[in-house]
Amino acid sequence: MCGCKDCKGITLFKGADGRGITSITDNGDGTLTVLYTDGTIYITPDFTGPQGIQGIQGLPGTNGTNGTNGTNGVDAPVQVVDIGVWDMDITDSVTVPHGLTLLSIRAVDALIYDTDGNFKYRLDYLDGANVQAGSVGAINSTTVELRRLRGGFFDSINFSGIGNRGYLVIRYV
């Protein structure tokens, strides 16, 4: 430092006043526009250098908020419907009224009770031989068809008799 209090009155170089810079603007394309006090404009060459190497992975962000319920079949409202009487030992299929509009239905699952009510199975249960025991069939404007495989897991006295055989779980919008 020069040892002075505020450095006023110190001349570093002697000479005539030149032109000054009024402003410098980043053009967003690697160039700068310089506006001088005498009104002249200078645009620099592109200062953009070569692509750098990939940076390190950043820290994980925070979880966002949950969205509203959608129409993807997972977040859809649910209607539960009694299957009603279905003697699966005798009858291959049954139709169950669903009470919804066909276009609003997104997914249907069926839960089957055994005759004694001790066990519950999905209708698409895979038996010991890895064979699907039943399925949801055609869905029309009023009913859902349920089917069991003839000679399969549900074709037995364990699923015979009267009484509610289980429930449909219908997702809809």
Q: Which residues lie below 8 Å from residue 73, measured CB to CB, with a gap of 6+?
A: 106, 107, 171
pTM: 0.56
Query: Does pLDDT of 68 surpass 90?
Result: no
- Widest distance between CA atoms in the chain: 113
Q: What is the topology classification, in CATH, of domain 78-172?
A: Immunoglobulin-like (2.60.40)
- Written as one string, the DSSP assignment of 29-58 is SS-EEEEETTS-EEEPPP---PPPPPPPPP
Question: Cβ distance 162 to 151 under 8 Å?
Answer: no
Please tell me the predicted confidence (pLDDT) of residue 12: 63
Domain residue limits, the chain:
78-172
Please tell me the predicted confidence (pLDDT) of residue 9: 66
Please tell me the predicted confidence (pLDDT) of residue 3: 61
Phi-psi region of 84 (alpha: psi -120 to 50; beta: other; left: phi over 0): left
Query: Does pLDDT of 1 surpass 80?
Result: no
What is the residue-averaged pLDDT of the chain?
86
